[in-house]
Amino acid sequence: MNNEDFKWYVVRCFSGHEKKVREYLSQEMMEAGLEDRIEEILIPTETVVEIRGGKKRTREKNFFPGYILINAIYDDSVNNLISNAPSVIGFLKTDKDSKNPAPLKPDEVERILGRVHHNREVAATGGLVEIPYRVGDLIKVIDGPFKDFDGTVEEVYPDKLKLRVLVSIFGRKTPVEVDVNQVENVD
């Protein structure tokens, strides 16, 4: 067997159970002696930094909730391991009539793995920031010199954790820059 025999397959599982399924498959793979058939079990994730209640928090976010990628040599033993795992729905098949799953295309694999590796590098330098505001959102400034002003988000600066907001000052729309934790959504 050489490395070209291994192909990436998509396995469907219950959303939120990806880590539990990966741990189970890793353990069962060892017990069944399938280390030579399964090279890697991957949950494509990224690390994001969220601002909640004025506090900065990092968490892992799945790219594809409910899906796991497996780099394996597909055969009956691998199929049985996957099919009989708890919380697993089965291999993702492209054709309903097909008995065997189709592996991912090399360009798809490259794109997904590139995104995973890029996000690991970004996470090592501080993480991505997920700002809960989008252009056009109506917000209320709750802190700073523009406290109690209502406005519309005009621009989002995730790298600076700032927003450019249009507020009405003396009857004119004026752009002001505020920190993400200085605003809240208008209900």
Phi (first) and psi of residue 82, to 5 degrees: -70, -50
Q: Are strands 45-52 and 128-130 parallel, antiparallel or unpaired?
A: parallel
| pTM, 2 dp | 0.65
DSSP letter string over 133-157?
--TT-EEEE-SSTTTT-EEEEEEEE
- Which H or E run includes 115? helix 106-124
Q: Domains of the chain, with CATH numbers?
A: 3-130 (3.30.70.940), 138-185 (2.30.30.30)
> What pLDDT was estimated at residue 159?
73
CB 166 within 8 A of CB 159: no
Could you report the per-residue pLDDT of 18-59, keeping only the tens digit for each? 999 999 999 999 999 999 999 999 998 877 766 666 666 777
> What pLDDT was estimated at residue 10?
94
> What pLDDT was estimated at residue 167?
92
Which pLDDT tens digits describe the chain residue by residue (187 residues)?
Answer: 566 789 999 999 999 999 999 999 999 999 999 999 999 999 988 777 666 666 667 778 888 899 999 999 999 999 999 999 999 999 988 777 778 898 999 898 888 888 887 777 666 655 555 678 889 999 999 988 889 999 999 999 877 788 999 998 888 999 999 988 888 888 7
> What pLDDT was estimated at residue 33?
93
